[in-house]
Structure 1
Amino acid sequence: MNTLGTPGLPIREYLLVGLTAAVVTFLLVGLVRVLAVRFGAVAWPRGRDVHVTPTPRWGGLAMYGGVLGGVAVAGQLPALRLAFAYSSEVIGAIVAAGLLVLVGALDDRFELDAITKLAGQATAAGVLVLFGVQWAVFWVPWGGGATSAGSALVLSQEQGVLLTVVLTVALVNGMNFVDGLDGLAAGIGCVAASATCLFSLGLLYNAGNDPNAYTPALIAALLAGVCFGFLPHNFNPARIFMGDSGSMLIGIMLAAATTTASGRIPFASTDGKDVVGLLAPLIVLAAVVFVPLLDLLMAVVRRTRAGTSPFSPDKMHLHHRLLEIGHSQRRAVLLIYLWSGVLAFGAVALAVTDDTALVLWGVGFGLLLAVLASAVPRLRVRSSTDRVSPRR
C-alpha cells in the first residue's frame, strides 16, 4: 500500500469532523452528568469495582451527541457529504449506535439482564447489515494459482451476515468488558479509531480518492473525536463514567468502521514476495481490536471453566491483573494504551509503508518496552521482599 500524501484527500475535513465531535462531547458531559444524578443513573461501589465513591453514568449519551454533531458538520462539507450520497453505511452506523446507546442507558439505570443486552446487541448488528455494513470477502493464503500469493474468499449472503453479527457482538462485549478503569475504554477506543482512520485514509489513497471509500474513515474519525472529547472527564479520577451506553457505542462504531474498511481492501493478484503487504490490511483490522477481544476471550474461558455464566462479572480482567502486580490505576491505563497503540499503529505502518523490516523492528522494540514497563512493579516488589527476608 502506498504512503499517504496526495493533495486530493479530504484530510482537513476529517480533522474538522473529529474536532467537532470532540468539542460537542466535551461540552455535553456537564449536562449529562446532572441528568444522570437527577434520574439515578449512578454507579455505586460494588465488591468487584475499583472506584470507591458514587459516580454518575450515562457518558455515552454525551458521546452520541458528539457523533450527531460531527455528522451534522460532515453533511455540510462538499467532500464528506458524498459519503452519504454514495452509501447508506454511515447512516446505518448512526442508527445502530443510537439503538445500543438506548439499551446501554437503560442498563446503566435499571441493570438489564445479560440476555436482554445480548438481544439488543444482535439487533444493532442486524441494523448494520440492513444498511449494507457487512463482511463479503476476505483474503486467504491459499489458492490463486502459481503466480499468486493467495486469493479472495467470497462469502455467501448468509455467511456474510453471520460473520458480521458474530464479530460485531464480540467487539461490543469486548469493549464492555474492558471498561473497568477510569479512562480505559475511552483511551482504547481513541487509539483504535485513530489507527483505523489512518488505515482507511491509506485505502482511500489507493482508491484514487473514490467517494465510495470515504465511509470507514468518517466513522473512525467520529469515534476518535468523541472518545478524545470524553477522556478529560473520565481519566482518573473520573467525574463521570461512560457506562454501557458509551462502551457499547464504541464497540458498534469500531465494528462498523473495520467492517466497512474490509470491504475496500484491494485483493489484486500479487506474487509471493508481497504476502506481508497483502496481509497488512487484515493485520490492521485484527490489531485495533486485539486488546478488548483478548480480554473477552480470556473472561469467557475463565468463567466457563469455573462453571459460571460467560457474562457473570469478576475481578480478573487484564486491568485488574495490572493492579494486582503493583501498578496504580493511571499507570495500568497508560500501559494498556501503550500495548494497544504499538499493535494498532504498528499494523498501520506495515500497511502504508514499504520498509517492512523497519516496521517490524519498531513494533518489536515497542512490545519489549511494554513488557518491561508492565513487569517493573513485580520486580520492585520481589526486590523489596528479598531485602527483608532473613538469610538461612
Structure 2
Amino acid sequence: MNEIIKNLLADFGIPIFYVKLVLGLVISFFITFLSIPTIVKISRRKNLMDEPGTRSSHLRKIPNLGGIAIFYSLAVCASIFAFELFELYKFLFASLVILLYIGVMDDIVVMRAYKKLIAQIIVTALMVIGSDVRIRSMFGVFAIYELSYTVSVIFSIFTFIILINAFNLIDGIDGLSGGYSVICSALFGISYFRLGEFNYPLVVLSGVIIGSVLGFLYYNLSHYRNNKVFMGDTGSMILGFLLAFTAICFMDIFIDKELPDVPRYYLQTAPAVAVAILILPIVDTLNVIIIRLVKRQSVFGADKNHIHHSLLELGLTHRRSTVYILIYYLFIVAVAYFFRQINVNILLFIIMTLGFVGAYIPKIILKTRKKTN
C-alpha cells in the first residue's frame, strides 16, 4: 500500500516526505485543537484544576490537563507519519506512555518528587540503554572527546532528566513553554532537513510537535476564561523529553559512525549549538539553583526566582513577557549560528554568558527602579 501511494505521488512529482510533513503538522494541530474542549469540560466537571500556589502566576483555578491532548496528537501522528523512528528507537513510544502516566498522576494527585525521579530514570534508561540514544562525544568541550560507554550512559541519563525538569520549570506563564517548544522544534527540524533525507523522519516529528503545540497554544493564550488550559506536568515532561531526544540525535549526526549509505557530517560546535537552542530552560534552571544555594534554601523548593517572574514584576503581561524572552533567546541562537565555526569552548562560553545576561537584565532593571523610587 505504501509503495502504491509513493508511485501515485511520484506521478504528480510530489515527494512523499512533504506530504508526511504537511499532513503530520496539520492533523496534529486539529487533533489537539478538537480534543482540548472535551478535556476542559471534564476537568471542570471533576474539578481537575491547577490551584494557584507559591510559584503560580495565575490567580484562579485553571484546567491543567492540556498535555493529554498534546500526547494524543503526538502518538497518533508521529506513529503514522514518522513511523520509522519507532522502528529505529524501539522504546520511544513506551517512554512517552510512561511519561503520560506519571504526568497525569502528578497533575491530578501531585506525586512525590522521588517517585517522579524514579520514573524519569526508568524512562531515560529505556531510551539511552534500550534505544542507544546517548551522547557519545563532547566534541572537545573541556578537552573531552569520545566518551566511554559507561560514562556516556550516565551522562546521557543525567542530561535527559535535567532537560525534562528544566522544561517543566519554565512552564510558568501563558505561551512560554508552548512557544519555546515550537521554536526549538522548528530550529531542530530545519537543521535536520538541511542535513539530508536520512534525517527526514526527525523533520516530520518536529512538524508533528509544532502542530500539536500550536493547537494547545490557541487555548492557552485564550482571553476567554472557559477556554483557557495549561499543559501541566504531562505536557511539559513529554515536550521536555522529546526536545532532549531531538537535541541528542542532532549531536549524534555529527559523529563519524560506520553506517552504510549514510552521509557523514562534522560540526565541532554541535554541543554548543544544541545548548543555544535549549538555552532558556538550561539557564533558567541554573539561575534558580544558584539563587537558592546562595540563600541557603532547598534547591527543590518552589519560588518566584524564574526569569518570567522577574518580567512580571516589571509590570509586563504574560504575552509580552513571553515575546521578550523568546526574541532574546532567538538572538542567542542567531549568535551561535553565526559563530558556529569557532572553537566549541569559546562559543559555549559566549552562549552561556549571553544566557545569564538575559536572565539578570530584568532583575537589574527592577533594582534600578526601586532605587530611583
Q: TM-score range by the shorter chain?
A: 0.7 to 0.9
Overall identity of the aligned pairs, in %: 23
Distance 1:253 1:378 in 2: 35
Contact 1:217–1:257 (CA<8 Å) still a contact in 2? no
How many Å separate the matches in 2 of 1:350 and 1:340?
15
Structure 1: runs of 5+ lacking an equivalent: 1-6, 75-79, 144-151, 269-276, 355-359
Query: Is residue 25 of structure 1 aligned with residue 32 of structure 2?
Result: yes
Matched, 1:61 2:50: no
Q: How does 1:263-274 map to 2 (within 5 A)?
A: 263-266=252-255
The TM-score, its normalising length taken from structure 1, stands at 0.76
Alignment partners' CA distance in 1, 2:289 and 2:142: 31
- Note if contact 1:192-1:340 (Cα within 8 Å) is conserved in structure 2: no
**Residues 20 and 204 in structure 2, CA contact (< 8 A), matched pair in contact too:** no
Q: CA 1:288–1:300 in structure 2 vs 1: closer, same or farther (change >3 Å)?
A: same
Change (3 A) 1:160 1:215: farther
Aligned-partner Cα distance in 1 for 2:139–2:191: 17
> Are 1:317 and 2:324 matched, yes or no?
no
Answer yes or no: is 1:121 the counterpart of 2:116: no
TM-score under structure 2 length normalisation: 0.79
- Residues 179 and 185, structure 1, Cα contact 8 Å, conserved in 2: yes
Specify the alignment match of 2:156 in structure 1: 164
Is residue 335 from structure 1 mapped to residue 324 from structure 2 by the alignment? yes
What is aligned with 2:184? Answer: 192
Contact residue 139 and residue 269 of structure 2 kept, 8 A: no
Q: Distance in 2 between matches of 1:139 and 1:8?
A: 35
Cα deviation for residue 104 of structure 1 reads 1.2
Structure 2 residue identity aligned to 1:222: V
Q: Match of 1:139, SS? A: strand
Give the match's secondary structure for 1:326: coil
Please list, as runs of the form range in 1=range in 2, the aligned pairs for 1:97-112 lying within 5 A after superposition.
97-112=96-111
Q: Specify the SS of the correspondent of 2:145.
A: strand
Deviation digits for residues 194-224 of structure 1 (CA, Å, limit 9, x no counterpart): 1111111122x2xxx23xx344334333322
- Cα distance in structure 2, aligned partners of 1:378 and 1:138: 37
Shift, 1:69, TM fit: 2.2
Per-residue deviation at 1:266? 4.8
Alignment of 1:225-236 (within 5 A): 225-235=211-221
Q: C-alpha displacement at 1:289, in angstroms?
A: 1.0
Deviation at 1:252, TM superposition (A): 0.4
How far is the alpha carbon of 1:236 from its aligned partner? 5.6
Name the amino acid aligned to 1:114: A
What SS does structure 2 have at the residue aligned with 1:153? Answer: strand
1: CA distance between counterparts of 2:83 and 2:102?
A: 29
Matches within 5 A, 1:4-19: 10-19=17-26
Greater CA drift, 341-350 or 112-121: 341-350
Two-structure CA RMSD over aligned residues (Å): 3.4
The aligned length equals 336
Amino acid at match of 1:61: I
The residue number in structure 1 matching 2:280 is: 291
